[in-house]
Amino acid sequence: MADKTNLKHELWQRIDDQSAGMLGLEGTTMHMRPMTPHIDEARNTIWFLCASDNQLAQMEGGSGKAHFTIQSADERFYACIRGTLRVSHDKDKLDTLWSVFASAFFEGGPEESDAILLELTPEDAEIWTVDVGKTHFAAEIARSAFGDKPQPDLGSHEMVSLS
């Protein structure tokens, strides 16, 4: 079992390292969408910029349950974060998050663009880590497929509370 405090810290670091993850709403037929996360670990918040006509911004009542998934580039860390997503009209935060990257997608700067903020307040996360090297990975798979081992031992799988 992994140390959950360290795992939470690693989760926030991994989210911060992501150029994008997949964000989707529970209970809808809408597919998940690639979104760039902006973390505020101290406030337990993940921010996203999107266009006001994006389906994610069209949530009934302005909020809903959502999932945000990430995968590390080295394919050794996977997470699904669940929480409440809401539309935010915090102009100061929009100004803070505005960047050259945002300018490439939204014309006119933060004041004139159709960009809005989505605020995800994470409640929990399910995390999978791969803790073995490639050779050990292959040996574990072979032992499980052809040997007497019921399942390969490749890493850890944990649920962590974030609220």
- Tell me what percent of the residues of the chain surpass a pLDDT of 90: 60
pTM of the model as a whole? 0.86
Reply yes or no on whether the pLDDT at 124 is more than 60: yes
Please state the domain extents for the chain: 4-131+157-161
- pLDDT tens-place string over residues 13-50: 999 999 999 999 999 999 999 999 999 999 999 999 99
Confidence of residue 1 (pLDDT cuts 50, 70, 90): very low
Q: What's the mean pLDDT in 78-93?
A: 95
Superfamily of domain 4-131+157-161: Electron Transport, Fmn-binding Protein; Chain A (2.30.110.10)
Q: How far apart are CA 44 and CA 49, in angstroms?
A: 17
